[in-house]
Structure 1
């Protein structure tokens, strides 16, 4: 077997591999010998089928399998022996001339193919000790606990039917048929739905125009769908709704007391407040973690500069761009609305893709050097979380992960990343800072820069 490097440019490599026809023939003979003991052919005693006969029957299929195995083996060992790691699955190219291919499959001609791949870049990990991190921490205010309790209460509020005109806060049961230009449109009709006036469940103006209606009344309501409505066909369009009022019900007094807590399976109102506070603290904790992680990744990004495998960046960019275009098509957003152009957006998202790939490689190497590992138990927990999301389909979800190494890697990657972050926070110089709830939970436009995950490069 002969392996020659035909390209070495930056991170790009190309190898040309030649496997002599003699070696193909030897492998084929060994495979046919194996088959001789396994096949049962009419007119031949077991194990006594002549080689030529076997070759006629199975030669081409056996040879196709041998070529596939040789290509996979050679590619793997050649890259390993060169002390390189491929960033992604190498691309293999061989002849597409049918006559030539048949000669190879008959073991009459040498097998030649090229292997194209990019290597992972060599780089040094910057010093993590002393990276300054400010951990923002906010106390959960009592009024937010009350707000959350009231929201839970709203969900279980009772209503009583009334024979009066509807007003704010009433729950109305209606049937309706929506039309645009006099034509009924898809999804715009329902013969039994409940709306609480003032809750903002329906498009602006709809609930407002239900004030004053009574049970049994029929009314046509005219409204306009908002410009940013998710359905492109409806966004910005004027519509009419023929409404039939079936019931007007008034809200009953909401009593947040022990009895209310017990209905929710908690022994007292105090215990319910504790549970709500704990949930809010957990949400605040997640926000703190995101802010800290963001600072850490910013610092790592600043400290590392090295060439990136183009194909990895391209793949990451495609993933991001697919989501962007999905938003453009399905949510009626446009680049102009966001104050940019498609060209500028592409450049910005390419930079984000580069950042994600760079950080993925840096985190991967830090984790490797620190011997960070994801245990079986942690994987099982993550799998259990996935399974819980699909009640009734548990078995299919488990099978999906059992048969799909990439899916398992997608479970492992975020756990690995969080463990590497923990390892770095031990070394960093972290100081706590008390902030307001608003500061902690303020939207950070940059958050989407870091939904990268540790890449698995051991193909």
Structure 2
């Protein structure tokens, strides 16, 4: 077997691999000899079939296997000897193709782009600023007020029903003058603006007062779940029992108990901890962006053009779908990449390769427990189908990689944080919010 270099230009590599006919024949004979003890043909005892007959009977099949194994073996030996890793699946073309016949040497062209050598990073030269925000009394009070609003009650009011008010009423729904099943209720409490009923219904109750009777005319949506009502015009005969205005709960020990705290002081402590955890998460995002920016600016190496092109195409395709949300499939024309797409692709590929190298050298691993937690978190987005989603991920290697990648990246980032020179800077919630908004503007 012979491997000859034909191209070495930047990260592009080309080789010719030659497997002689004698080598192939020897490998076929070797494979047949291994299988011979288990082969049984008519007229011969098990293991006693002559090699010549075996070669005639199974030679063609073994030849294809021997050819593939020889080429794969040559490629593996090459990568082990050179230490190179292909950026994408290598391209293998048989030189003679359809003209090849048994007894000829096998000659293939191997081409690929190698992953670049990643330079060492001096972590001590990386200076980062960690923003630290405390939950002040104003922030805690604001959070308490929001909690009180979620625990709101309603009290009777004089006057007309407005957005946010609760209307308590009886109703009977009719289509073509006939009441339909499920279209009636008594003492039903409906908050105007909650969109609990079909479009137009709640608007029809605005302005009513306790004691009023009103017919609300609506049309069921074409895609309504009940087919016999879909697209039909209906009239709801409504009798208003009461109109109630929202009233926020009192901020006291009773409110605290509703949210599982012993008293108001304990609830404030919990809120403070939660807010500061949110601030810490936001500060980490800001510091992570700063780290990635520094790495992008200071670390330089050649990038495989094929990876950059693939990433730019993916970015362009994703942005196109965001701009055309009505298109859910890929049956559309080609999406052209722009200079901005390529610029972002260069950054992503560069940082992706760098973080992967840093993680490998630091022996960063994503544990089974971390993967399980990530799958469970994702599964919560599919209520009632958690088990099916879990099984889907277990059988889908690509989905597993999509969930593993961000965990790995964050663990590598934390590793670099520990090695870098990090100084803390006290800030306010508003300043931290501005820093986070700046990240979104630059994304």
- For residue 439 of structure 1, give the secondary structure of its aligned residue in structure 2: helix
1:284-328, Cα deviation, whole Å (9 max, x unpaired): 111100111111111111112332111111222233222211101
Query: What is the aligned partner in structure 1 of residue 275 from structure 2?
Result: 280
- Change in Cα spacing, 1:160 to 1:302, as seen in structure 2 (3 Å) is same
Query: What is the aligned partner in structure 1 of residue 414 from structure 2?
Result: 422
TM-score, scaled to structure 2 = 0.74
Query: What is the aligned partner in structure 2 of residue 232 from structure 1?
Result: none
CA distance in structure 2 between the partners assigned to 1:431 and 1:362 by the alignment: 24
* Larger CA deviation: 301-310 vs 86-95: 86-95
Query: What is the aligned partner in structure 2 of residue 319 from structure 1?
Result: 314
Query: What is the aligned partner in structure 1 of residue 390 from structure 2?
Result: 397
Query: What is the aligned partner in structure 2 of residue 374 from structure 1?
Result: 365
Query: What is the aligned partner in structure 1 of residue 224 from structure 2?
Result: none
Match of 1:386 among 375, 394, 407: 375
CA distance in structure 2 between the partners assigned to 1:389 and 1:13 by the alignment: 41
Given that 2:131 and 2:425 are in contact with CA atoms closer than 8 Å, whether structure 1 keeps it comes out as: yes
Query: What is the aligned partner in structure 1 of residue 287 from structure 2?
Result: 292
Shift of 1:14: 1.0
- Change in Cα spacing, 1:89 to 1:251, as seen in structure 2 (3 Å) is farther
Confirm whether residue 250 of structure 1 aligns to residue 249 of structure 2: no
Shift of 1:212: 1.2
Query: What is the aligned partner in structure 2 of residue 113 from structure 1?
Result: 108
Shift of 1:48: 2.7
1:373-399, Cα deviation, whole Å (9 max, x unpaired): 226xx3422323313532654476367
CA distance in structure 1 between the partners assigned to 2:432 and 2:252 by the alignment: 31
Query: What is the aligned partner in structure 1 of residue 355 from structure 2?
Result: 363
Given that 1:372 and 1:420 are in contact with CA atoms closer than 8 Å, whether structure 2 keeps it comes out as: no
Given that 1:172 and 1:197 are in contact with CA atoms closer than 8 Å, whether structure 2 keeps it comes out as: yes
1:334-380, Cα deviation, whole Å (9 max, x unpaired): xxxxxxxx97x7211211110111122233333444x34226xx342
CA distance in structure 2 between the partners assigned to 1:55 and 1:430 by the alignment: 70
CA distance in structure 1 between the partners assigned to 2:288 and 2:237 by the alignment: 52
Query: What is the aligned partner in structure 2 of residue 335 from structure 1?
Result: none
Given that 2:375 and 2:403 are in contact with CA atoms closer than 8 Å, whether structure 1 keeps it comes out as: no
CA distance in structure 2 between the partners assigned to 1:264 and 1:42 by the alignment: 81
CA distance in structure 1 between the partners assigned to 2:263 and 2:379 by the alignment: 32
- Change in Cα spacing, 1:42 to 1:149, as seen in structure 2 (3 Å) is farther
Given that 2:282 and 2:432 are in contact with CA atoms closer than 8 Å, whether structure 1 keeps it comes out as: yes
CA distance in structure 1 between the partners assigned to 2:313 and 2:388 by the alignment: 32
CA distance in structure 2 between the partners assigned to 1:349 and 1:146 by the alignment: 44
Confirm whether residue 438 of structure 1 aligns to residue 430 of structure 2: yes
TM-score, scaled to structure 1 = 0.72
CA distance in structure 1 between the partners assigned to 2:59 and 2:441 by the alignment: 54
Query: What is the aligned partner in structure 2 of residue 76 from structure 1?
Result: 76
* Larger CA deviation: 272-281 vs 441-450: 441-450
- For residue 212 of structure 1, give the secondary structure of its aligned residue in structure 2: coil
CA distance in structure 2 between the partners assigned to 1:39 and 1:447 by the alignment: 67
Shift of 1:283: 1.5
1:54-84, Cα deviation, whole Å (9 max, x unpaired): 4455444433333333333221221221232
Given that 1:379 and 1:411 are in contact with CA atoms closer than 8 Å, whether structure 2 keeps it comes out as: no
Query: What is the aligned partner in structure 2 of residue 34 from structure 1?
Result: 34
CA distance in structure 2 between the partners assigned to 1:148 and 1:260 by the alignment: 13
CA distance in structure 1 between the partners assigned to 2:394 and 2:403 by the alignment: 9
Give structure 1 stretches of 5+ with no counterpart: 178-189, 222-240, 333-341, 451-459
- For residue 350 of structure 2, give the secondary structure of its aligned residue in structure 1: helix
- For residue 135 of structure 2, give the secondary structure of its aligned residue in structure 1: coil
Aligned-residue CA RMSD in angstroms? 4.2
CA distance in structure 2 between the partners assigned to 1:172 and 1:109 by the alignment: 88
- Change in Cα spacing, 1:203 to 1:396, as seen in structure 2 (3 Å) is closer
- Change in Cα spacing, 1:271 to 1:3, as seen in structure 2 (3 Å) is same
